[in-house]
Amino acid sequence: MSRLWLVRHGPTHAKSFVGWTDLPADLSDTAAIARLDKALPEVPVVSSTLDRAVKTADAIQGNRPRLAHDPRLRETHFGDWENLSWIQIQSLDAPLARRVFEAPGHHAPPGGESWNDFYNRVHAGIDALSGDAIVVAHMGVILAVVQRALGCTAYEAFGHKIDNFSVTAISRDTPENPKWDAHFINQVM
């Protein structure tokens, strides 16, 4: 069995849908970072390739080994909806917006990726990790892993709040016995 500690990157303060846009994280809350660092085990750290995740991983790495940044752990690609507010997205195509978020699966924003494609990409990256690891990533990535661990629908996974600097702990058995379990979700240290 191995464990994953999924950490959401520091806040960007964006009030829009930010997927692949490479916004920096606000890492000025050094007390929160110190609490997070202290609460995490001494296991390898991996992050997505986006700056907000990379810099958050840098901030908590300490003496932990660092794995190569993994593009499969990037946030979902919102395509033409990148950096738009919910109101703006609804004004472009309200029926599609509802399908994408209320019936996640094969529906995708224009030029973006569907939940199913995103889920498969994320789990290709997660499944490539061997042993215990700290994964510094994004809300969508964490929700995709929560969905798998809980065996729930994407819509049900969307009901979980994932705060910046929070930790979600997941265990997973061997490939021969692929049972996953969520120990806690969205714990803020």
pLDDT at position 114 is: 98
Q: Rounded to a whole number, what is the largest CA-CA distance in the chain?
A: 49
CA-only gyration radius of the chain, Å: 16
Q: How far apart are CA 86 and CA 163, in angstroms?
A: 19
Ranges of the chain with pLDDT below 50: none
pLDDT at position 178 is: 75
- pTM summary value: 0.96
Active site residues: 9, 75
* Cα-Cα-Cα-Cα dihedral sign, residues 120, 125, 128, 131: negative
Q: What is the pLDDT of residues 145-168, one digit of tens each?
A: 999 999 999 999 999 999 999 999
Q: What is the pLDDT of residues 125-147, one digit of tens each?
A: 999 999 999 999 999 999 999 99
Superfamily, domain 2-188: Phosphoglycerate mutase-like (3.40.50.1240)
Instruction: Confirm if 80 and 24 have CB atoms less than 8 A apart.
Output: no
